Amino acid sequence: MRHFSNGTLQINRLAILGLILIMITSACSNFRKIEKSEDWRVKYEAGLNYFAKKDYYRSSILFEQILPIVRGLPEGEKVEFNLAYCQYYERLYLLASDQFKTFYETYGRSSFAEEANFMYAYSLYVSSPDHNKDQSSSIEAMNAMQNFLNRYPGSQYMSQAVDVITTSQQKLEQKGFENARQYLKLRMYGAAVESLDNFKQNFPDSKYLEQAAYLKVEAEYLLANQSIPSKQLERYNATLEYYKELVDNFPNSSYLKDAERYYSESLSKVNKLKKYKS
């Protein structure tokens, strides 16, 4: 068995690092030569080569340089399509969505048009933030994907498109519910009731409807409690109605016990207020 001293190992490591550095320098130097070339065909072939190697950064640089030249030529279609994917893989999703859109609008008869149309919507989808942030991009992605399905009803991407729409809908649903609940936490009870009403209208099949129905009882009761005397009777009566809606729609609800307390206290307040008025 051969034994190597620490000094020999260190020299070997330095040699390997030096070789890697030379390779990187050579690759960079070669790319700079291609980038400075005045022959767009050289950049086109190199761009395709970098794309095949998944070097999307270098590929996109070359494609962007020659795009104005090749637009309208047979090579232009591949350049625009691959450039969109370069941006997508570089996680520049909004740029990619614009590029995919430009592609299918420019090359509507291309064999890649359907894929580009799908990727336009999908890029918008992956750019959308978590549910607790602004969901404008989720709405845009959902609409774009629905338009895609309308245009290509038998598409090979149909399953993925449906998943995008469903997931985007769920994010909007969760955002809407948490917005309504936030009003309650902030003690803005009137706004909470209105927001919960809007939530029910916007998401009639939501999994949060039961909880929303309970929160509406709670919010209306707390609103009545802090109201001026002339508004209290109306709002306690509304609490009673919201409780009945909860019972009618969710007779086995786990929230009934807590809701009953608001119902009982509201009923007692209503009777007292009626006595006082009479």
Mean predicted confidence (pLDDT) in 128-140: 77
Averaged confidence pLDDT in the chain: 89
Mean pLDDT of 16-43: 70
pTM score, whole prediction: 0.76
| Tokens at 246, concatenated | 């909860």
CB atoms within 10 A of CB 223: 22
Domains annotated on the chain, with CATH = 186-278 (1.25.40.10)
pLDDT score for 273? 87
**DSSP structure class, residue 39:** -
Angle at 127 between CA 126 and CA 131, to 5 degrees: 85
Q: Which of 11-20, 74-83, 131-140, 173-182 has the lowest mean pLDDT?
A: 11-20
Q: What is the pLDDT of residues 178-230, one digit of tens each?
A: 999 999 999 999 999 999 999 999 999 999 999 999 999 999 999 999 999 89
- Could you report the per-residue pLDDT of 20-29, keeping only the tens digit for each? 444 444 456 7
Percent of the chain with pLDDT over 90: 75
Residue 137 pLDDT grade (very low, low, confident, very high; cuts 50, 70, 90): confident
Sequence-ordered list of residues with C-beta below 8 angstroms from that of 214, at least 6 positions apart, any chain:
246, 253, 255, 258, 259
pLDDT at position 29 is 72
Q: How is residue 31 written in tokens?
A: 């790319």
pLDDT in the model for residue 235: 95
Which residues are within 8 A (CB) of 62 and not within 5 positions of it... i.e. 6 or more apart?
A: 34, 35, 43, 44, 46, 47, 50
Sign of CA dihedral 194, 197, 199, 202: negative
Confidence (pLDDT) at 136 = 84
Tokens, residue 236: 């306690």
CA distance 173 to 99: 30
Distances in Å between the Cα of 258 and the Cα atoms of 200, 233, 253, 255 are 21, 21, 10, 6
- How far apart CA 216 and CA 119 sit, in angstroms, is 41
Residue in this structure with the two tokens 């290509």, named with its chain if needed: 152
Is pLDDT of 254 > 70? yes
Give mean pLDDT, residues 71-84. 94
Q: How far apart are CA 236 and CA 221, in angstroms?
A: 6
Beta carbons of 112 and 96 less than 8 angstroms apart? no
Q: What is the pLDDT of residue 28?
A: 62
For residues 16 and 199, the model is more confident at: 199
pLDDT band at 11 (very low <50, low <70, confident <90, very high): low
Q: Tell whether the model's pLDDT for residue 174 goes beyond 50.
A: yes
Of the pLDDT bands very low, low, confident and very high (cuts 50, 70, 90), residue 138 is confident
Q: Give pLDDT, residue 25.
A: 46
